[in-house]
Amino acid sequence: MKILALDTSGLVCSVAVMEDDRLLSEFSIQHKITHSELLLPMMEEIKKRIALDLNTIDAVAVSAGPGSFTGLRIGCATAKGLCLAMNKPLVAVPTLDAMAYQFYSNENVICPMMDARRSQVYTGIYTFVPEKENEKHFETYFSMKTIKPQAAMAVEDIAEELNAIGKTVVLLGDGIPVYRDKLEKLLKVNYIVAPAHMNRQRASALACLAQIYMRDGKIVDADTFSPEYLRASQAEREAAEKKNVSDSQNSADKKMERNGKKGRDSIYIRDLKAEDITAAAELEGACLGNEAWTEKQLLEASVLDDTVYLVAEKSGNVVGLCGVRNISGEGEITNVSVAADCRGKGIAFDMLEKLILRGKAIGCNDFTLEVRAENIPARGLYEKLGFVNEGTRPGFYDNPKEDAIIYWKRNNTND
């Protein structure tokens, strides 16, 4: 059985080809280069190096998530395209399962942690147990058992579960260096931090699990498959936000309806999702023209660890967008856009007010933004939010040429 495996779920971009019990090739790169620039060239290089005819593969395996929105989309789109073009089966392997499988036969508990930001990790808990023995060759086979399926969790919660198990645990994943200080305080059990060659995603481990999936008939429909983002924490926040909507506001809306008056259409402000990117880029283009960010730029910016992007949704459509990036404690606000037919309804104010709170949660002390000098409505909005004009960049904008006003909202400025 020959399997082509692709893992683009994190910073690592990894491609492997495995045939039965032989790893024919594996390429992995962990560097800040987008997977869209790496994946296809890596596949092409493997094809040349091992003279691979893609028609000879039996299946394509892909990391099914969780992970980076952008990375998962690129990997899954590539895998689906190959499967549909060559009529090959698609095997979707959970990201954390594949990470844990690198420690096959290890007697300890295995706990991969991927940084999900906001003091949360994508994680799961696994162990390997002897399944059968080949007495003739003194060989023992192991199966991986899932103690806790992959989920988005607070670091405190996963530490509590590991403590309850009470066994030595192997920790791996990009969440470990991020939360290591916290884990040192929280964990009461012995733990081992995986070495560099085993502490991130590897397509070879993905391929090994995919072979087991294939033997068990676990394949997915390439046409309809979509990655598992595991944004449970986000869903919980959104549900809480809905629940905390003022009762008085709800009563007022109902009263207006009873009186035959049409209230403001429901606007829902939430985190930007992968499926929003195209609509958000179109909104940017409609609002900002040549100054708008492209879909690729939004994709790349929205998955950075130090950013927060929000959208305003109305009747299922994206009508507002804003984002902030933490640069050494200073929040740079970007991409403030609202659909033309939704302006003047307080949407931008509500988005930015929420964005500032979220920015503070990722470590932003002060906030700054730039605006065209002649954009009086926007300037009024920012000043209403407590931003102060602290300077001008002459001729900063083009088409038309115009000065940029630099606004700051500092932590000693009254909200």
Pairing state of beta strands 59-63 and 22-30? unpaired
Q: What angle do CA 165, 166, 170 make, to 5 degrees?
A: 85
CA-CA distance, 161 to 68, in Å (whole number)? 25
Secondary structure (DSSP) of 305-345:
TTEEEEEEEETTEEEEEEEEEEETTEEEEEEEEE-GGGTTS
- CATH code at 233-409: 3.40.630.30
On whether the CB atoms of residues 309 and 347 are closer than 8 A, the answer is no
User: 2-232: which CATH topology?
Assistant: Nucleotidyltransferase; domain 5 (3.30.420)
Could you say which residues of the chain have pLDDT below 50? 232-240, 245-249, 251-253, 255-264, 413-415
**3-state DSSP call for residue 222?**
coil
> Could you count the other beta carbons within 10 Å of the beta carbon of residue 222?
21
Rounded Cα distance between 156 and 172, Å, is: 16
Give the residue extent of every domain in the chain: 2-232, 233-409
User: Is the Cβ–Cβ distance between 63 and 9 less than 8 Å?
Assistant: yes
Which pLDDT does position 33 carry in this prediction?
A: 66
> Tell me, what's the pLDDT at 135?
56
pLDDT score of 175: 92
User: Largest Cα–Cα distance in the chain?
Assistant: 85
Q: What is the length of the chain? A: 415
pTM: 0.59
> Do the Cβ atoms of 189 and 161 come closer than 8 Å?
no
Q: Using CA atoms, how far apart are residues 232 and 182, in angstroms rounded to an integer?
A: 22
- At position 68, the amino acid (one-letter code) is S
What's residue 136's pLDDT?
A: 55
* Contact present, 359 and 324 (Cβ < 8 Å): yes
Tokens of 262: 């049409």
- The phi, psi pair for 368, rounded to 5°, reads -140, 155
Convert the pLDDT of each residue in 89-117 to its tens digit. 999 999 999 999 999 999 999 999 998 87
